[in-house]
Amino acid sequence: WASPKEDAELIQRNVEWLEKAQVAEGKSRGAWSYAVTNGGRGDGSCSRFGVLGLDAAKRAGFKVNDETWKRVSDYWLTAQKENGAWGYTPESGPTLTMTLAGVAGLATANRHLPNDDQTKTREAAMRTPISRAARTSASISACVPLGKT
């Protein structure tokens, strides 16, 4: 485990690397990939881990630029499918894991961004998959009693 006091220089350097590695333009703007690729391809899987790392650093008191959170929000909003789900990339079909990553990415960005004109957009984008998951979960638990052996 990293210690915010003892490892402050390393943590801030990692934050700066993550910010540099975030895709800066194109249809994957705001995502991450397996390497630094400013105008290239990013995906939801790498992005969820970038968001988790930056969130942990921010909550530990390290500086994460507002523009980084704005790009996180932009990526997940533009990559969302019409049905409210997300895929591995904006072009991929939806999956449950990427949908959960999308909700978490938007929720995290929402927490770190000021209340602005995009706040309601982010909140609405999160509502659709959450309500769908609740209906699916209710359907599954009606057929398979969860928690019973």
Q: Which of 41, 34, 29 is nearest to 73 (CA)?
A: 29
**For residue 25, what pLDDT is reported?**
87
Question: For the segment 111-129, what is each residue's pLDDT rounded down to a tens digit?
Answer: 999 998 888 889 888 888 8
* Positive or negative torsion for Cα 103, 98, 79, 129: negative
Judge whether residue 30 has pLDDT over 90. Answer: yes
**For residue 133, what pLDDT is reported?**
65
- Average pLDDT (120-139) is 75
- Average pLDDT (98-123) is 92
SS3 string, the chain, reads CCCCCCCHHHHHHHHHHHHHHCCCCCCCCCCECCCCCCCCCCEHHHHHHHHHHHHHHHHCCCCCCHHHHHHHHHHHHHHCCCCCCEECCCCCCEEHHHHHHHHHHHHHHHHHCCCCCCHHHHHHHHHHHHHHHHHHHHHHHHHCCCCCC
- Average pLDDT (63-88) is 95
Judge whether residue 79 has pLDDT over 90. Answer: yes
- Average pLDDT (52-71) is 97
How far does Cα 38 stand from its chain's mean position? Answer: 18
* pTM, rounded to two decimals: 0.84
